[in-house]
Amino acid sequence: MRLFIAIPLPKGVKQKLVGLQQPIDGLRWQSQEQMHLTLKFVGEVNKATAAELREELDKIDHPEFSMTIAGIGCFPEGKPPKVVWAGIKENMILEELHQKVEDRCEKMGIAPENRPYKPHVTIGRTKSTPKRAVTSFINQHKTFALPDIPVDEFVLFESKLYPDGARHQRLQTYLLKSDE
C-alpha cells in the first residue's frame, strides 16, 4: 500500500486553485481530487504497518486551526521546474501538527523526510516545460492568496498510481479538537 498523510482542502479552495490553470506546454495540471496539503509521504508499506500507523495517528491530539495559501512557486529551486505549487504562509500550529505526525511515524520506524518541511499544495507537474513559461506563470500570480482556510481534520490516504495519474482514497480521517 502506498500511503501519505494530508490535510484535505475545502471544495471552494480547490475551485479557486483550478481557476489559476491556463494552457502551458508540458504542464499537467492537478485535478481537484488530487489537491491536498501533504503532512507526510509514507510510501509503500504492508497492511500490518498500515494498521499500526492508523493507531499511532489516532493518538495525535491537536487543535483546529486556519491557514493561508499565499504565493505560487516551483520545485526544485535553481533547476528545471518539476512541480508548480501554491505556498502556505508560515503557520506554527501547522508546523506542530506536521511534527506530531513525523514523530508518530518515526516511532514506528518510518524514516523522517530528509528535507525541511515546506508546506504547499501541488497544482501542476511539468515535463520539459520551458522555465520561462513557469516563471511567467509564477510572476503573474505572485500575489495570489486564500486566507482563513479552516483545518479541522487530517487524513491517512492510499495513493494508487494509474497511467493518467494518481488516485487517492481516504483510509481514515482524524478530527482535530475544537475549542468548544
Is 36 part of the annotated catalytic residue set? yes
d(CA 39, CA 52): 18
The rounded distance, in Å, linking the Cα atoms of 176 and 63 is: 5
How far apart CA 56 and CA 105 sit, in angstroms, is 8
Cell 516511532 belongs to residue? 107
> Is 120 in the active site?
yes
Q: Given 62, 120, 141, 168, which residue is catalytic?
A: 120
End-to-end CA separation in angstroms for the chain? 37
The CA distance from 98 to 139, in Å, is 29
Give the Cα separation of 103 and 59 in Å (integer): 11
82: three-class secondary structure by DSSP: coil
Residue 180 CB coordination number (10 Å):
4
Catalytic residue IDs: 36, 120
